[in-house]
């Protein structure tokens, strides 16, 4: 086998945009032949993937899976809604989610370095799929729950948003139905906190100051304004804390009361420990470019 150096690996990386380990593997497989290694990267879709690195992946899906006592909620992005709706992309996301369940990585960086078998990392797997699908694919975020109770998930409209909740209870059919109702409610109401206790003093004081000024601007005296603010703070809790919210199917009870009713009916404790929800693409901006500018870029690229 022909020898190659770290400089060769770096040169191949600069030319193709592929990752260091992918370049090293290609040089090994090509017996040190630089051009053959570059061709291998193209054949494997890795060089093509690198060329799409500057694209904005603002579409995609939120996906959930539960296996045993482990639940995963993950958002994976791509470039177009067309690809996001496709079976191939869903298959890719499913495999990524299964890897998260199996290894429970701490963050996206740790996930990308995991071995999926045959010496292939998650990062390499994604790069290969980019070559096949033809769009940038990126894992944006994920949450892993491990429980001895019940995990309930809900995915809305094919992946536009997803919810995952962790209940401490027996996995009976009645409790599963209760958990499903609360998952639907959470998707609808999008609470910021589980309970009042999660709202920081800083957040509460800031909200009080805003509300107080709002009431004072209406011409209310200070003493009366302060009493009004107390009532408005209760409304703030109701709007933002899941357990304080009115149940969407019956606004005469709160979610906390609904859970208490479920526990009483079950004859055993039921509590909601935590929840998370993702709205697909929230905070991401799609790349907007003038058509003439895009054409000019392509023409200039052809000259190089």
The pLDDT of residue 50 = 65
The verdict on residue 181 lying in a domain is: no
Q: Are residues 104 and 10 located together in one domain of the fold?
A: no
The verdict on residue 289 lying in a domain is: no
Q: Are residues 164 and 240 located together in one domain of the fold?
A: no
Average pLDDT, stretch 250-273? 96
Question: Where is average pLDDT lowest: 24-28, 111-115, 249-253?
Answer: 24-28
The pLDDT of residue 64 = 98
Cβ(135)–Cβ(55) below 8 Å = yes
Name the E strands within the chain. Answer: 59-67, 70-78, 138-146, 150-156, 161-168, 246-247, 250-254, 271-279
pLDDT greater than 60 at residue 276: yes
The CATH number of residue 11's host domain is: 1.10.8.10
Q: Are residues 26 and 111 located together in one domain of the fold?
A: no
DSSP symbol at 281: T
The pLDDT of residue 88 = 96
Q: Give how many domains the chain has, as a whole number.
A: 3
pLDDT greater than 90 at residue 4: no
Average pLDDT, stretch 257-261? 98
pLDDT greater than 50 at residue 302: no
The pLDDT of residue 283 = 75
Which pair of structure tokens corresponds to residue 225? 């304004």
C-alpha span between 49 and 21 (Å, rounded): 15
Q: Are residues 63 and 165 located together in one domain of the fold?
A: yes
Question: pLDDT grade, residue 56 (50/70/90)?
Answer: low
Q: Are residues 126 and 213 located together in one domain of the fold?
A: no
The verdict on residue 290 lying in a domain is: no
Phi, psi of 248 (to 5 degrees): -65, -25
C-alpha span between 99 and 111 (Å, rounded): 8
Q: Are residues 68 and 167 located together in one domain of the fold?
A: yes
The CATH number of residue 90's host domain is: 3.30.479.20
Give the model confidence (pLDDT) of 167-201 as tens digits. 999 999 999 999 999 999 999 999 999 999 999 99
Q: Which domain holds residue 19?
A: 6-51
Give the model confidence (pLDDT) of 227-248 as tens digits. 999 999 999 999 999 999 999 9
pLDDT greater than 60 at residue 25: yes
Radius of gyration of the chain (CA): 26
The verdict on residue 303 lying in a domain is: no
Q: Are residues 33 and 77 located together in one domain of the fold?
A: no
What percent of the chain is predicted at pLDDT more than 70?
89
Q: Are residues 17 and 106 located together in one domain of the fold?
A: no
Q: Are residues 71 and 152 located together in one domain of the fold?
A: yes
The pLDDT of residue 293 = 52
The verdict on residue 32 lying in a domain is: yes
Q: Are residues 71 and 46 located together in one domain of the fold?
A: no
The verdict on residue 244 lying in a domain is: yes
The verdict on residue 178 lying in a domain is: no
The verdict on residue 75 lying in a domain is: yes
The CATH number of residue 260's host domain is: 1.10.286.20
Name the E strands within 157-291. Answer: 161-168, 246-247, 250-254, 271-279
Give the model confidence (pLDDT) of 66-110 as tens digits. 999 999 999 999 999 999 999 999 999 999 999 999 999 999 999
Q: Are residues 67 and 165 located together in one domain of the fold?
A: yes
Q: Are residues 152 and 230 located together in one domain of the fold?
A: no
Average pLDDT, stretch 22-49? 83
**Contact partners, residue 89, CB within 8 Å, separation at least 6:** 61, 76, 78, 83, 133, 137
The pLDDT of residue 292 = 47
């Amino acid at each position: 086998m022909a020898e190659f150096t770290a400089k060769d690996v770096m040169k191949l990386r600069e030319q193709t945009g592929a990752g260091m380990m992918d370049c090293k593997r290609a040089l090994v497989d090509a017996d040190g032949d630089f051009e053959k290694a570059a061709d291998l990267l193209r054949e494997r879709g890795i060089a093509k993937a690198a060329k799409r690195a500057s694209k904005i992946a603002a579409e995609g899906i939120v996906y959930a899976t539960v296996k045993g006592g482990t639940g995963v909620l993950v958002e994976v992005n791509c470039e177009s809604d067309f690809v996001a709706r496709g079976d191939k992309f869903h298959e890719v996301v499913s495999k990524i989610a299964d890897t998260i369940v199996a290894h429970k990585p701490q963050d996206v960086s740790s996930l990308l370095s995991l071995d999926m078998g045959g010496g292939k990392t998650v990062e390499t797997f994604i790069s290969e799929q980019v070559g096949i699908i033809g769009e940038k694919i990126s894992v944006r975020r994920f949450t892993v729950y491990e429980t001895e109770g019940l995990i309930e998930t809900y995915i809305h409209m094919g992946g536009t948003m997803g919810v995952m909740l962790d209940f401490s209870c027996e996995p009976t059919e009645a409790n599963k139905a209760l958990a499903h109702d609360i998952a639907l409610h959470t998707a609808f109401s999008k609470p910021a906190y589980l309970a009042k206790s999660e709202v920081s003093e800083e957040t509460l004081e800031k909200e009080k100051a805003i509300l107080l000024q709002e009431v004072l601007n209406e011409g209310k005296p200070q003493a009366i304004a302060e009493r009004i603010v107390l009532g408005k703070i209760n409304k703030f809790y109701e709007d933002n804390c899941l357990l304080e919210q009115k149940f969407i199917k019956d606004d005469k009870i709160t979610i906390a009361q609904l859970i208490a009713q479920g526990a009483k009916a079950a004859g055993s404790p039921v509590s909601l420990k935590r929840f998370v929800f993702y709205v697909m693409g929230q905070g991401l901006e799609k790349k907007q470019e003038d058509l003439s500018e895009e054409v000019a870029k392509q023409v200039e690229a052809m000259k190089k």
